[in-house]
Chains A and B, each alone.
Chain A
Amino acid sequence: MTLPFYVAPEQMVKDRAEYARKGIARGRSIAALEVQEGVLLLAENPSRTLTKTSEIYDRIAFAGVGKYNEFESLRVAGIRYADIKGYQYGRRDVTAKSLASAFSQTLGNIFVQGPKPFEVEVLVAEVGRTVAEDRLFKVTYDGTLYDKRGYTAIGGQADELSDRLGEDYEGTPGLAEALALAANAFREVESRAIDGWEGALLAREGPTRRFRRLTKEELGEIATS
């Protein structure tokens, strides 16, 4: 029987973090902004069918960047978690906070115990009755959970994009204004033409399920501007 080589925990965490970061850096970014009409998610996505944003539950949406199969499995697990909870208790008992915390626990476990860390960052957004009740949670590859206000970003250029959003984000903008300022931030940070948009809105007003994808017309204006 051979003994495994001893690896110091600091070294292991460092190696794994580096590995995960490299994978995420290749991914395109996603921005989330609280707006008057709800919560806006905007992503650069050349694909029409493979989406990065998704409905999770009535007022809760998901966005993921990185390796497709990994964030897709997290998305599916998130929907299952929410639907089971809503079925066992009630629709109002499904909250972004408990979901984000479950993502955080899961990613944290995988980071330390899994054969390899997930190369993903995910975002859990919830729309409230008022802007003050909106929630934006960001969970990174190692399970770190961030509670954000107003706007945030995930992906390869997350920090730059988030900083750039912060320069223009003031008060709570309307949807059209937020779309324009987010698109602008994308262009400046990436300093190239954007290869297709994917947009979604968690509407503040409406029937039970508030998630809807933005139409080509709604996104068309920012595509040409």
Chain B
Amino acid sequence: MTGSLLPLGAPLPGASFTELIRSLDLAPKWALGPDPAPPDFRPPDATTVLALRYDGGVVMVGDRQATAGYDIAHRHIQKVFAADAYSAVAISGTAGLGVELIRLFQTELEHYEKLEGVRLSLEGKATYLARMVRSQLPMALQGFVVVPLFCGIEPESGTGHVFTFDAIGGRYEERDFGAAGSGSREARAYLRTVYSPGSDRTQAIDHSIAALVAAAGQDLATGGPALRRGIYPNVVTVTTDGVEEIGRSAIAAAAERAMEVIR
């Protein structure tokens, strides 16, 4: 920052924080070489996250594992975050990029809200996130892909929405549920068989944790709940009351039920 003076003369980028730090040359940069990254250069990957709608809100779940090839890089990584008071965001793909993307996204939403005096609409948030993913395209082409998952509610209507993305920056609203990461195929396959739109919060949490257990059963990179080690997935719900993180004991109970059902 320019000494101790306020950025009063910063070029006016409106209410966007990302544009602001870019104009001040403070935005995070990953300098790219001309060649693709060597095959043995493997920063940790974050894997399976999923979100589903239920009557009155949305639930979002993420496993805790990050892998580098066949190696477990982290056992307790957090992939699910509150984006603001009424939305949550999760990452899959290159963990280092994803975590930074989320920090920037959270700051962006808060910055907008403070400057404008109102929150962005849910659709506005999803569109902005898609734009952030798109700006990562050069990195994606080098093999460092970040794919987020976004969910939240419009506080006025109280209905939950789930948005999935692709590496190009495509944004898709899902009718029932969405998932991202290496175990997402398995998780979606499980959810397709159990999902019903009228399910309540408890059922939705049960289903989402069971889907994660199913994914961990098939996908090497997904870490299921490890009760003896005390590793539990991150679970949040978003309702008109805001974002709520589900406590360990509730998750442990749901995980035990799920592990009895899933072979």
Contact = CB atoms under 8 A, between A and B. Distances in A.
A74 B114 contact: no
A183 to B, nearest CB: 24
Contacts of B6: 74, 77-78, 80-81, 102-103, 105-106
B7 interface: yes
Contacts of A81: 1, 6-7
Interface residues of B, number: 21
Nearest to B106: A87
Contacts of B201: none
A84 B20 contact: yes
B33 interface: no
A51 B114 CA distance: 12
B114 A106 contact: no
B21 interface: yes
Interface string B83-126: 00000000000000000000110010011001101000000000
11 contacts: A73-B8, A77-B7, A84-B21, A84-B26, A86-B107, A87-B21, A87-B103, A88-B26, A101-B4, A105-B5, A106-B8
Interface string A150-181: 00000000000000000000000000000000
Contact of A98 (B4, B24, B26): B4
Is chain A's interface secondary structure helix, strand, loop, or mixed overall? Answer: helix
A-side interface size class: 20 to 34
B89 to A, nearest CB: 16
A98 B117 CA distance: 24
Given A84-B26, A87-B103, A105 B21 contact: no
Nearest to A50: B117
B195 interface: no
B5 A84 contact: no
Contacts of B115: 76, 79
Contacts of B104: 87
Given A54-B114, A84-B26, A105-B3, 17 more contacts: A56-B114, A73-B8, A77-B6, A77-B8, A77-B10, A81-B6, A83-B110, A83-B114, A84-B20, A84-B21, A84-B24, A87-B21, A87-B104, A101-B4, A102-B5, A109-B5, A209-B110
A85 B21 CA distance: 11
A121 interface: no
